[in-house]
Structure 1
Amino acid sequence: MSGTNSDTLVHRFVHWERVQPDTPYLTESMPDGQVVEYTWQEVGDQARRMAGYLQSLQLPPRSAISIVGKNSAHWIIADLAIWMAGHFSVPLYTTINADTAQYIFEHCDVRLLFVGKLDGKTDGWNEIRKAVPPHARLIGLPMSPVPEALQWDDIVASQAPLRDVHLPAPGELATIIYTSGTTGRPKGVLHSFGTIFAYAAQAGEFCGFTPADRVLSYLPLAHTAERSFVESNSLCHGFQVFFNDSLATFVQDLHRARPTVFISMPRLWTKFYQGVCAKLPASQQALLETASPEAAVIKQQILTMLGLDATRIAFTGSAPLPEEITNWYRMLGLELLDVYGMTENFSYSHYSRPGLVRPGYCGQAMPGVECRIAGNGEILLKAPTMMLGYYRQPDLTAQSMTEDGFFKTGDCGELDELGRLKITGRVKENFKTSKGKYVAPAPIENKLSHAKVEAVCATGPGLAQPFALLMLSAAARGELQGTPAYDALRAELRGMLDKVNDTLEDHEKLAFAVVVADAWTSDNGLLTPTMKIRRGAIEKRYLPMAQAWAELGQPVIFETQSVKTQ
């Protein structure tokens, strides 16, 4: 990618717009079932028209322009228009509350807000709209819930396309990504056109991307993982992006895309696995482990059923996946590559290499990344994708770096002899029991693997021994009808608990496990938008019951059942 057309993602887009104008770029399934396709030329035409309109507003140079909406073709087109007009984008999670939205709008002085695909029920739009500053203009993307706003379609219909778009320098600010964070105010992470291009160039080489590739966009584009993997890679390497309309159409949209490269979080890989296991007779499951022609046929059928039959690279990230599930996918012919990255380095740090996957480890450092482990176990990193800093927080920026320029990740880890990194927890997550012993919860959580358990939180500060909170999958919760079902699951979970405790130090052994009654979601604040547990919120909710549970003396407790039935 040498030459003048490869300095930034805007340069790369202009390149693809020129060399493959009639090739489909963005393919979107609509709520009414229609499928709409936009070619590179059509995306360029709309982005240039909107960029022309943004320039006509004569906003101060490099103004902050926000995008809030679920993933859609126009989310990416709006981002392009912002860049082509010489401004920077500030994406918002669709589930943030009014306080957080107001903080972000004021913190970076948002001048205009693109409002995309939202419904006010599965997102926080009814909250966010209260926080929009009076001076900020609203532009409704197609599928937006704001009829009173200026409409994208009306603007592009009447606006001439901007011929000489702003071609940014690598050092210019491209975006501020406010971290979802597990505590406190979000931090505004500054990324330049240079840092996000460095990601796309290196990650793209790792994946071997070509314009023939296809990906499905369904993780939040406001988050770095999707912004890097889908938006940055597609703009850089010229491949096609398909969008998921809703949870109900996920399987259908996945089948339409038949992605060649696919990234997901452990929860979805687990759901896929649970779904197939529930449908597959025991005889066929046993057959999978053989090298017979029949097994090969079933494996291909499973991958086709999942929509992953064309997938040549599959990634998993954000938390370790149980070894049995990783091995099951490998048996199907899909080697899941664990990756590690964060907002501050634009999701570019460590990737597992094909053939070198080690369960529980998230791979080796990517080209240009330096990694070392500090004396307290903290992972320290340098990368060509490292942020410019935290917006308007110079002290926090300085505190997050070592004197010799390494970023303090806040994660604890260890490296093996091949340089593969294992995340062992968060520096601040370790808690002390009443016996004065410190416990790191993450390694314990990673061991608590059961087909019916979707999320785990190990906790117990101030108690004699730690305990575990287990959230069942929706299907498993639905099966819990009557005493026999509870007894059977209790026995299975007791077996898992005993097995895990056998591997733990005395002070780490779990006194009991509680199967929680309610699902943890990002809507109720118990998960982040990327499905990680919000430890602080979960502990605030459940720790007040811990002493009473401990006094029951039962190894497995169901929160839904009354105390006397334990």
Structure 2
Amino acid sequence: MDKSQFTPLQWLEHWAETTPNKVFLHQPVNRVVQTHTWAEVQDKVENIAASLHQLGFVKGDKIAILAKNCAEWLITDLAIMRAGMISVPIYPSANADTIQYVLEHSESKAVFVGKLDKWQDADVGVKGTVIRLSMGYETMPCQYDWNKLQTLAKDHAPLEKYIPELDDTISIIYTSGSTGNPKGAIISYRAFNWANQEIVNLLKMTDKDRMLSYLPLAHITERCFVEGVAYHANTTLYFTESLEFFVEDLQYAKPTAFFSVPRLWSLFQKNIIDKIGNNKLNILLSIPLVSSLIKRKIQKGLGLQHARLLASGSAPISPSILHWYNKIGLNICEAWGMTENCIYAIGCFPFEEKLIGTIGRVLPGCEVKTTAEDELLFKSGGLFDGYYKNEEATKEAFTEDGFFKTGDLAKIDPDSGAITIIGRVKDNFKTAKGKFVSPVPIEKVFAQDPHIELLCLLGSGMAAPVALVQLSEGAAALPKEQVAASLKENLLAVNNQLESHEKIGAVVVVAEPWTPENDVLTPTLKIKRHVLHKQFAERVEELKGQQVLWESELN
């Protein structure tokens, strides 16, 4: 059989037979690394799958996973497949309302519960008859613990061999809900396998590669780029014990491929500059012999000295950050993808400095085009089957010729093929002047101010657009007058490039950091513009005159 058609279960069987003693998973627990070979993983998967049947669950049932990344997450995912059931991952940072919504909407019969930062908060969301299955970490009360699930079916006949059909559903993955309740994207084995194999081919992943799994496995990026790739390529995976030990665990893993989000790349940059000093760093990098030593020292300090592949996704990253990393010898490839296309779509692979500022070119096996209104349309073998229990949204999501409507506005360069995201269909707004404003391009320019951590432009029905700004950690510690002067200078410079109806009327520095916990950010750290509009619109709708204010100064 063509291995590219293998499901994760067949890969598990293949590696357990051909490389049974290879350590597949490294999990630190209380600073001691626990390892799991392919043979051990297969054994646990068989036991847990049998236990699920012993508990009365049947093929086709939905089983949720609510946990931070860990070795047990992958073992659980494989066990759900082995039992012929469908996984429903839930973000470990999700609030109780979201947890309850996903469990109820997906009709999940049980939920595996693992590491959570605040399990007491999540506990309220797991209601009704949903059975709780512990993954072996200190967490909310559960009916069955991890060890029990290894032995529950030991006295019963083993499960019959099961190979899913490629058109069967492997998972229902709920989107992060930046515009309302999350929608459950139905992902087939066929789409999942296709995307994973394409990623392996594109990035030339092999059994010599190592990756650190720390971005939420509930998100499609980690699910395909890390978990799925590991099944196809026999890649070794490492996990981090907690945020406290993230850098230490990254240095231990020494990944050869490392994917991250803009906020972490920005934080790494800040820590390096704080430690060395920007002027000093620039001087050292300008000295040929010293430059290579400094670059190696920085890369080793991050644990990225062996990384042949670096990438950023989930949200736009400032071109200035990518240029900065390029200067220290770390080339970060920006990529674009969605839950609905199993994340394999568009990217700057391999890295090309001239593509900085774009999301790259369409990847092999994929097709893109734009509508007359600039909406990006997409087609590939990795497309989802539709939204669970939402026929109307599914029908609206596709064109008559089978292209998925991404909701992103884009420009495709006819010469280079490079694609630039210029906004979101639903983000564009009309100010009181009656003309449409596309906020994303304005935000990308304004956000290059080093004092800014996050930025959101509001304006629907307002006198003029207003930029809400969350200061970076370093800027928050600086004198207010210094920060205000820099923001004002940036505001004037940006406004000089804009049409009159687009000009920013004011900058407002917010008081409270934006987080998933206070519902301003999605679990993948995208800003919920509609939430901020609801919080701020009435207080800022009349602001104009190119002011810079702090939230405490608003009426």
Q: Do these two structures clear the TM 0.5 threshold for a shared fold by scoring above it?
A: yes
> Identity of paired residues, percent?
36
The answer for the alignment partner of 1:382 in structure 2 is 379
- Equivalent-residue separation in structure 1 for 2:541 and 2:96 (angstroms): 35
The answer for the alignment partner of 2:111 in structure 1 is 113
Q: Does 1:224 align with 2:220?
A: yes
Partner residue of 1:486 out of 480, 484, 487: 480
- CA deviations on 1:483-507 (whole Å, 9 max, x unpaired) are xx11111111122222222222222
CA drift of 1:355 comes to: 4.5
Q: Does 1:513 align with 2:507?
A: yes
Amino acid across the alignment from 1:395: E
- Do the aligned residues in 1 keep the contact of 2:173 with 2:339 (CA within 8 Å)? yes
- Equivalent-residue separation in structure 1 for 2:546 and 2:421 (angstroms): 31
CA drift of 1:548 comes to: 6.1
Aligned length: 550
The answer for the alignment partner of 1:365 in structure 2 is 362
Partner residue of 1:539 out of 520, 525, 533: 533
- Equivalent-residue separation in structure 2 for 1:157 and 1:337 (angstroms): 45
Query: Which range is displaced more, 171-180 or 487-496?
Result: 487-496
The answer for the alignment partner of 1:343 in structure 2 is 339
Partner residue of 1:315 out of 297, 307, 311: 311
Partner residue of 1:434 out of 429, 432, 456: 432
Q: Does 1:240 align with 2:236?
A: yes
Q: TM-score, normalising length from structure 2?
A: 0.95
- Do the aligned residues in 2 keep the contact of 1:28 with 1:244 (CA within 8 Å)? yes
Q: Does 1:86 align with 2:87?
A: no
Q: Does 1:555 align with 2:554?
A: no
- Equivalent-residue separation in structure 2 for 1:240 and 1:353 (angstroms): 22
CA drift of 1:341 comes to: 0.5
Partner residue of 1:528 out of 518, 522, 528: 522
- Do the aligned residues in 1 keep the contact of 2:299 with 2:305 (CA within 8 Å)? yes
- Equivalent-residue separation in structure 1 for 2:66 and 2:286 (angstroms): 49
The answer for the alignment partner of 1:174 in structure 2 is 170
The answer for the alignment partner of 1:72 in structure 2 is 70
- Equivalent-residue separation in structure 2 for 1:533 and 1:289 (angstroms): 35
Q: What secondary structure sits across from 1:170 in the alignment?
A: coil
Partner residue of 1:406 out of 403, 407, 416: 403
CA drift of 1:176 comes to: 0.4
CA drift of 1:365 comes to: 1.0
- Equivalent-residue separation in structure 1 for 2:26 and 2:158 (angstroms): 24
Amino acid across the alignment from 1:245: E
Q: Does 1:24 align with 2:20?
A: no
Task: Return closer, same or farther for 1:563/1:171 CA change in 2, 3 Å cut-off.
Answer: closer
- CA deviations on 1:371-407 (whole Å, 9 max, x unpaired) are 0000111101101100011112222211111111111
The answer for the alignment partner of 2:475 in structure 1 is 476
The answer for the alignment partner of 2:94 in structure 1 is 96
- Equivalent-residue separation in structure 1 for 2:253 and 2:311 (angstroms): 17
User: Following TM superposition, where does structure 1 have runs of at least 4 consecutive aligned residues deviating by more than 6 angstroms?
Assistant: none
- 1:188-267 equivalence runs, <5 A: 188-267=184-263
- CA deviations on 1:197-235 (whole Å, 9 max, x unpaired) are 111100111111111111111111111111111111111
The answer for the alignment partner of 1:38 in structure 2 is 36
The answer for the alignment partner of 1:466 in structure 2 is 465
The answer for the alignment partner of 1:425 in structure 2 is 423
CA drift of 1:247 comes to: 1.6
Amino acid across the alignment from 1:3: D
- Equivalent-residue separation in structure 1 for 2:147 and 2:264 (angstroms): 35
Quote the RMSD (CA, aligned, Å).
1.9
CA drift of 1:103 comes to: 2.9
Structure 2, unaligned stretches of length 5 or more? Answer: none
- Equivalent-residue separation in structure 1 for 2:516 and 2:550 (angstroms): 23
- CA deviations on 1:32-89 (whole Å, 9 max, x unpaired) are 2222111111111111110111222342321111111111111110000000111110
- Equivalent-residue separation in structure 1 for 2:303 and 2:461 (angstroms): 47
- Equivalent-residue separation in structure 2 for 1:288 and 1:166 (angstroms): 59
- Equivalent-residue separation in structure 1 for 2:79 and 2:9 (angstroms): 10
Structure 1, unaligned stretches of length 5 or more? Answer: none
- Do the aligned residues in 1 keep the contact of 2:336 with 2:343 (CA within 8 Å)? yes
- Equivalent-residue separation in structure 1 for 2:360 and 2:4 (angstroms): 32
- Do the aligned residues in 2 keep the contact of 1:274 with 1:451 (CA within 8 Å)? no
CA drift of 1:521 comes to: 0.1
The answer for the alignment partner of 1:276 in structure 2 is 272
- Equivalent-residue separation in structure 2 for 1:307 and 1:16 (angstroms): 28
Query: Which range is displaced more, 90-99 or 264-273?
Result: 90-99
- Equivalent-residue separation in structure 2 for 1:563 and 1:527 (angstroms): 23
- Equivalent-residue separation in structure 2 for 1:282 and 1:398 (angstroms): 52
The answer for the alignment partner of 1:146 in structure 2 is 140
- Equivalent-residue separation in structure 1 for 2:387 and 2:401 (angstroms): 18
Query: Which range is displaced more, 3-12 or 259-268?
Result: 3-12
Task: Return closer, same or farther for 1:252/1:24 CA change in 2, 3 Å cut-off.
Answer: same
Amino acid across the alignment from 1:202: E
- Do the aligned residues in 1 keep the contact of 2:115 with 2:138 (CA within 8 Å)? yes
CA drift of 1:19 comes to: 1.4
CA drift of 1:289 comes to: 4.3
Amino acid across the alignment from 1:84: R
- Do the aligned residues in 2 keep the contact of 1:94 with 1:124 (CA within 8 Å)? no
- Equivalent-residue separation in structure 2 for 1:399 and 1:40 (angstroms): 43
CA drift of 1:5 comes to: 7.9
Amino acid across the alignment from 1:397: T
- Equivalent-residue separation in structure 2 for 1:250 and 1:126 (angstroms): 26
Q: Does 1:397 align with 2:391?
A: no
CA drift of 1:163 comes to: 6.4
- Equivalent-residue separation in structure 2 for 1:159 and 1:563 (angstroms): 63
Query: Which range is displaced more, 176-185 or 277-286?
Result: 277-286
CA drift of 1:557 comes to: 1.2
CA drift of 1:139 comes to: 1.0
Query: Which range is displaced more, 539-548 or 234-243?
Result: 539-548
